[in-house]
Structures are given as C-alpha cells and as structure tokens.
Amino acid sequence: MKIEVLPTKTEMAAAAADRAAAALRAAVEARGRAHVVAATGASQFEFLDALVHRPGVDWARTVFFHLDEYVGLPATHPASFRRYLRERIVERVHPGTFHFIDGDAPDTQAEVARVSALIRAHPIDVAFVGIGENGHLAFNDPPADFDTEEPYLAVALDEACRRQQLGEGWFPRLEDVPARAISMSIRQILKTSEILCVVPDARKAQAVHDCLEGPVTPQHPASILQRHPRTTIYLDELAAALLTLR
C-alpha cells in the first residue's frame, strides 16, 4: 500500500485521475478491454470529473462493475448510485458496458447471485474506492466479513453509515436512508489487480488514521487495504491530518 498526500482536493483528484487513466489505457493495450469497479459518494465527485476529461482512454473498450447499491431505492432517486454513475460516467464517456446492481430488484438474493456470476467471469484491472466515516469499504460496515468468497453480499447498513449519507445531503431524514444494500465483498475487492482509494475532507481524517495506521481488523474494514500490494491511497491534507507516518 502506498499513500499520496496532495495539498488540495483538486490536486488529489488530478493525481488519482492521472493514475486511473494510465491503468485503463494499459489494460486496453494489453488485453483489449479494461475491467473497472466504480465507487460513488461525495468523495468521488472531483476524481470522476477529472477522470472523464483525461485523454487517450478508449472508453468503448471499458467494462464497468458497480461497487454497491441501496436495496429498495428506485434508480431515479437522487441518492441512487445507478443514477450517480449514469450522470457522472455513462452519459459523459459512454463505456462499452456497465453492469449495474439493480437495487430494487424484486428478489435481492437473486440479484446478488446475478451480479456475482457476472464479475466471476471478469478479473478486474482497477477499482476506484473510498473510505467511509466509519471505516467502511464499499458498504461493508464494521465488523466487516473478511472471509466470505462470495463476490457480492446483501448487507445491513449501520447507523454511522446511514448518518453519513444523511450528512452528505442525499436524504432529508435518517429514516429515509435505506437500511440494506448490495455490496461487493472485501475479498472480491482485494482480487482487483490495482486499487485506487480516493479520500478527501477532514471528516474522514479519523477513519483514515484508524484504517491506515492501525491494525488490520474487521472493526476498521478499509484497514484490509494495507495487505493489498498495489493499492494507492490518495488523500488531501485535511483527510491526512491525523496521520503520523507520511
């Protein structure tokens, strides 16, 4: 795991976008396709905006997978991650394929099985992820399951996670935040060839410290990134404020 600290959120996003674009170009050149996992949330705004403007990426040869999605939330809802990804990636660069999680599918377990079967057939070249205020990785809240080999899981969201979504302005009331989601599992994320983890803002500083300088533990799910040999953590100064090792 490598940590890069940039002075501002804009510089952090630019550095991460440069590396992401290079990884996509390399995968397309080597194998004819780039298989990608995309994260969502307020922390990814600047990064995704920078990435879609990077030159030389053959987006028609990219295959995207969805990191997580709320259960029971329509795709048209302002907080839907499908809507987020359509607006910020699909409608801007038109990737060859985007495998969305259908969060309002009538049978959640059947949807978990469907997307799990899809990703098993496609080794992932690069994953874009973040770290939650509670240390979650995707929607794997603490204590996270570090052992399951299933690619996707139906999970319960803890109150800290739901309060983060409320605080970011996605929902008007806590009771409106869904209590369940479909999430890519920890082990599936770790199977990715390269992980780019983008984490801005002071509100993430404690989680960044706990996950990057503390022990690897399910109580701090993103701490598992310490064990991935090709992970780069991109931080702005605010998110890195509590780190002692730079």
Longest CA span, the chain: 47
Question: How far apart (Å, rounded) are the C-alpha atoms in residues 72 and 95?
Answer: 26
pLDDT at 246: 63
- Calculate the average pLDDT of the chain: 97
Has residue 69 got a pLDDT over 90? yes
Beta strand 194-199 with 97-99: parallel, antiparallel or unpaired? unpaired
Predicted model pTM: 0.95
| SS3 (DSSP) at 159 | helix
Has residue 229 got a pLDDT over 80? yes
Contact (CB, 8 A) for 121 and 142: no
Q: Which domains does the chain have, with CATH numbers?
A: 2-236 (3.40.50.1360)
Closest CA to 238 of 208, 200, 197: 200
Query: pLDDT per residue over 11-58, tens digit each?
Result: 999 999 999 999 999 999 999 999 999 999 899 999 999 999 999 999
CA dihedral 204, 181, 115, 88 (to 10 degrees): -50
143 upstream amide cis, omega within 30 of 0 = yes
Mean pLDDT of 115-126: 96
Question: How far apart (Å, rounded) are the C-alpha atoms in residues 150 and 182?
Answer: 12
Residue indicated by tokens 């983890």: 197
Mean pLDDT of 185-194: 98
Number of neighbouring beta carbons within 10 Å of residue 227: 11
Place 245 in a pLDDT band, splitting at 50, 70 and 90. confident
